[in-house]
Amino acid sequence: GDVHYYKFVLKETNVTKLCVSKRILTVNDSFPGPEIHVHKGDTVYVNVYNYGPYGVTLHWHGVKQPANPWSDGPEYITQCPIQPGANFTYEVIFSDEEGTLWWHAHSDWTRATVHGAIIIFPKEGTTAPYPEPDGEEVIVLAAWYKGDLMAELAEDIIAGTDLPHSRGYTTNGELGDFSNCSSETTYRWLVDYGKTYLLRIVNAVVNAELFFAVAEHTLTVVGMDGAYVKPIVTDYIMISPGQTMDVLLTADQPLGRYYMAAREYSTESAAVTGFDHSNATAILQYNGDYNFTSRPIFPHFQLPMYLDMKAGKNFTNRIRSLANEDYPINVPENITTRMFITVSMNVLCRNSTSCSTDMGNILATSMNNISWNNPQVDVLEAYYRNLSGYYTTDFPDWPKTMYDFTSDNYDEDAVITDQGTKVKVLNYYESVEIVFQGTSVMGGSVNHPMHLHGHSFYVVGIGSGNFNNNTDPLSYNLIDPPKVNTFGVPKNGWLAIRFFANNPGVWFWHCHLDRHMTWGMDTAFIVRDGGTEETSLRPPPPNMPRCTDLPDMSIK
């Protein structure tokens, strides 16, 4: 493959939206940030200069980075932050992804403004398994916060609510003409009648799943998370934070202007506060001669409403891998490691002798009632150098108690979570099955889009209620399960995934709703070396950002 070089300069930039100016952290002064264009098999070196006020890392979401977690990016998992004034060059290796992925900051909440699309064309001389489009358009959906994101978050934790919620969603950085002071900047996409376009859609929103539709136009989903899917012809898509979708659209409607709109999809009860009812709008505009004065048509009947769980599920349940001769799948059948993991809202027990579930405790999220705590030295460095005291390898394969996970009579014990830096160790090439079980603990039942670094996984089963170990595996889809890097555990339901642990290194996995990620719904895999040079963790590159309390590194 080819080699490409990019320079990313992180710094604060003044941006005005909703009539208010504010400083946000950006890459190369743009929101969203620059696109990366590659062919499958290429390598990209991204030299990141941090001229911002705090330490940051970048992550290449969905890029597997074979044996190279050093450039994966999650802070305190595979590196320490790039400090202000410092720089670091990421080596991003594109192995088997094709389609659209994205990159984003992976430090606290910085990804709200620091993100961009990654476009991966098929290898030179090969084509995608759908008719060649006449043009392409990248749609990055994100959210705009009026105030300071960190401050809002801190306030909201004290208030005990589930905020921060955005002050409006954006399409390629713009809120659209339904929002104050935004009509002039509304994003416009010009199309020619009769042509077919590929839309590359990224959900970069920090805290919400979205519905997206284009008035009067049919969408055909052909790819997701950097892999091809069986075409889905649909009026709308539902896209979780972290997910990317490739969608064909034919401009076959009367010349005119049509809204492309994204609306928050929530699986929370209507009682939840701070719900964002603003839609992001952009305008699809035909080239040609017609009357421009009328308002564009809105996708009233295509775009589902905020709490339409049926619409969310109906779309999600249609996703299938292409799974044909040219694009075969490789689903593990003889499972060697099986895990059953609750994903839950909890309270953190500060003082183990007087743990109560009363208010006054800190809200947290967990996997198997372990709430992730970032170590002082990143897990990868500690693993590679054999440093003890930074993490433990006892992440539980099972919840501490079994209870009726999805009823309102959940076990009171399940409310409390421990804190820890517990990882799961896997041998090279183990075949892994994980069943994620959503819970209704603390009324906190929502979809959880779970994301795995370093691997794609197959979604072999999805269902509502408690997972039934006797019957549910019988209905697994091992024929054409979706191959993805992020997929929602349904509200009060379960999700079964399978993958081969074929990538040596340390790999983070977590809920991609940032409020859940920052509160602890995370853990990491260590995948051991496979015994050959090819199947072993690479040595660290020069100039890895150092952790401040790193011990003497002269001995390995």
Catalog residues that contact ligand C2O under the rule CB under 6 A.
59, 61, 74, 104, 106, 242, 451, 453, 508, 510, 512
Q: Which is nearer to ligand C2O, 74 or 304 (CB)?
A: 74
- Contact of residue 263 among Cu ion, ligand C2O, none (CB under 5-8 Å per partner type): none
In the bound complex, what is the minimum distance in angstroms from residue 100's beta carbon to ligand C2O? 13
CA angle 426–478–41, rounded 5-degree value: 65
Query: Going by DSSP bridges, is the β-strand pair 257-265/209-214 parallel, antiparallel, or unpaired?
Result: antiparallel
Given a contact cutoff of 8 angstroms between Cβ atoms, the answer to whether 141 and 201 are in contact is: yes
In the bound complex, what is the minimum distance in angstroms from residue 532's beta carbon to Cu ion? 38
- Contact of residue 74 among ligand C2O, Cu ion, none (CB under 5-8 Å per partner type): ligand C2O
In the bound complex, what is the minimum distance in angstroms from residue 236's beta carbon to Cu ion? 22
CA distance 317 to 312: 9
- Contact of residue 513 among ligand C2O, Cu ion, none (CB under 5-8 Å per partner type): Cu ion
In the bound complex, what is the minimum distance in angstroms from residue 97's beta carbon to ligand C2O? 14
Q: Which is nearer to Cu ion, 118 or 517 (CB)?
A: 517
Q: Which is nearer to Cu ion, 59 or 448 (CB)?
A: 448
Q: Which is nearer to ligand C2O, 103 or 211 (CB)?
A: 103
- Contact of residue 17 among Cu ion, ligand C2O, none (CB under 5-8 Å per partner type): none
Positions that interact with Cu ion (CB under 5 A): 448, 511, 513, 516
- Give residues with Cβ within 8 angstroms of 27, minimum separation 6: 8, 9, 10, 33, 34, 114, 116
Q: What 3 state SS string does 507-555 have? A: EEEEECCHHHHHCCCEEEEEECCCCCCCCCCCCCCCCCCCCCCCCCCCC
Q: What 3 state SS string does 440-477 have? A: CHHHCCCCEEEEECCCCEEEEEEEECCCCCCCHHHHCC
Chain residue whose CB lies nearest ligand C2O: 61
In the bound complex, what is the minimum distance in angstroms from residue 154's beta carbon to Cu ion? 20
At residue 188, what is the residue type?
A: R
In the bound complex, what is the minimum distance in angstroms from residue 37's beta carbon to ligand C2O? 20
Q: What 3 state SS string does 27-40 have? A: ECCECCCCCEEEEC
- Contact of residue 313 among Cu ion, ligand C2O, none (CB under 5-8 Å per partner type): none
- Contact of residue 508 among Cu ion, ligand C2O, none (CB under 5-8 Å per partner type): ligand C2O
Q: Which is nearer to ligand C2O, 60 or 189 (CB)?
A: 60
Which stretches of 349-447 are assigned E, i.e. beta strand? 362-367, 370-372, 416-420, 424-426, 431-438
Q: Which is nearer to Cu ion, 321 or 365 (CB)?
A: 365
Q: Write out the two tokens for 208.
A: 């919400």
Coil vs helix vs strand at 222:
strand
Cα(first)–Cα(last) distance of the chain, in Å? 33
In the bound complex, what is the minimum distance in angstroms from residue 542's beta carbon to Cu ion? 37
Given a contact cutoff of 8 angstroms between Cβ atoms, the answer to whether 171 and 179 are in contact is: no
Neighbours of 21 (CB within 10 A): 9
CA distance 438 to 14: 40
Q: Which is nearer to Cu ion, 209 or 378 (CB)?
A: 209
- Contact of residue 516 among Cu ion, ligand C2O, none (CB under 5-8 Å per partner type): Cu ion
In the bound complex, what is the minimum distance in angstroms from residue 312's beta carbon to ligand C2O? 20
Q: Which is nearer to Cu ion, 69 or 242 (CB)?
A: 242
